[in-house]
Amino acid sequence: MLIGSRHTLDGLVFSLPRAARDLVEAFWPGALTIVVEHSPTLQWDLGDSSGTVAVRMPLHPVALEVLRETGPMAVSSANRTGQAAAVTAEEARDQLGYSVRAYLEAGPCPDPVPSTIVDLTGEVPQVLRLGAIPLEKLRDVAPDIISGRGA
């Protein structure tokens, strides 16, 4: 889920662990996706999410403007499984075609490295995917973070 403001996070989650707040403060907006327990009042169909939601606040002025106007958006990656992430609207269109109703062209993605994903639903924060934010920088903020599956 993409959000346009840190304050939106409080309305989406059940509770936000201290490590999550610290990581968000350090890396949002930016290339950090956090996985947290979502609020029971969140009635969106997020698939088989086991009560969790992955949330990111992008570092792109057009995306932030759209999100501030629309509110949070449930989204997926702009690529087909197994293919490289699209860095332009045209590349996304080539991969996703008419399965997407609208494409917003805001120029090439300035940083094609995917976000780092951190699971904050357990006792200890766990990196699920290393991306644009390296483990060392995460540990500067959350020293007990561990590198997990696939990271």
pLDDT of residue 76: 76
The DSSP-derived string for 8-63 is HHHHHBS---HHHHHHHHHH-SSSEEEEEEBPTT-----SS-TTEEEEE--S-HHH
Residues 144, 116: Cα–Cα separation, whole Å = 16
Residue 26's alpha-carbon distances to 31, 67, 77, 135, 139, in angstroms, are 11, 20, 23, 14, 11
pLDDT of residue 143: 97
Write the CB contacts of 98 (distance below 8 Å, at least 6 apart in sequence).
Answer: none
Mean pLDDT by 10 residues, the chain (151 residues): 90 88 97 87 60 90 91 83 86 91 83 90 94 96 87 62
Threshold 0.95, pTM exceeds: no
**Which is nearest to 145 in space by CA: 38, 54, 18, 10?**
18
**Which is nearest to 67 in space by CA: 115, 145, 7?**
7
Give the CATH number of domain 6-147; options: 3.30.70.990, 3.90.870.10, 3.30.70.1560, 3.30.70.920: 3.90.870.10
Q: Where are the domains of the chain?
A: 6-147
pLDDT of residue 45: 54
